[in-house]
Structure 1
Amino acid sequence: MNVQIQTVHFDADQKLLDHVNAKIEKLNTFHDKIIGAEIYLKLDNFSHQVKDKVAEIKVYVPKHSYFVKHQSKTFEESFDLAFNSLVNQVKRKKEKIQIAHI
């Protein structure tokens, strides 16, 4: 699986990158044909005092792609919420495919 992590308006520390990579590797347990993933970590409202952290995840599988976006006060929390939503999407889609093949 090809994983790309991009940070916008900041430089991520190694701890955050390790956290993201560890979680993304777990996606293979939910879907075995993942081609790649793109993760965007952004500081939202950059020109204002309030700096919300946004995590966007795009995952590509044959003939389909998934996208989730979450925003919170920390990158870890934003990424974890987005990852959980992504796992739910993958599971639902896989169940629909399995039911259609029965």
Structure 2
Amino acid sequence: MKVNTQSVNFNADEKLLDFVQKRLDKLNLFYDKVISSDVYLKVENTSAKENKIVEIKVHVPRDKFVIKKQCKSFEEAVDSACSSLERKLVKKKKKPRAYTSLKFL
């Protein structure tokens, strides 16, 4: 799966980018039709400890899922967001599909 990662207000190191890539590659186990994903890593300029924000957009055929999590570390936020995405993808996979090929009179 293609993962586009952007870091806002800081420079992400290779270790963090590899972690994000490996964690998002596991989403294919839950739904095999994932096209791509966009990951935005942001740091808020506040004094609070939970100032790391991760926003993940996953593109699947005819749909898009967006998850936003805020935690103390990027790894924790990515894990939390991916867990939520896994539940959403399993739910989508189990949902019966509506057939679009209708016969017109």
Count of residue correspondences: 98
**The structure with more helix, counted as a fraction of residues:** 1
- Aligned to 1:11, the other structure's residue is in SS state coil
Using the aligned pairs only, state the percent identity.
45
Q: TM-score, normalised by structure 1?
A: 0.87
Distance 1:10 1:97 in 2: 43
Q: TM-score, normalised by structure 2?
A: 0.85
Q: Look up the match of 1:95.
A: 94
Q: Look up the match of 2:76.
A: 77
Structure 1: 4+ residue segments shifted above 2 A: 48-51
- Aligned to 1:97, the other structure's residue is in SS state coil
Distance 1:15 1:3 in 2: 15
Q: Look up the match of 1:49.
A: 47
Output the aligned Cα RMSD.
1.6
Structure 2: where are the runs of 5+ without partners?
100-105
Q: Look up the match of 1:27.
A: 27
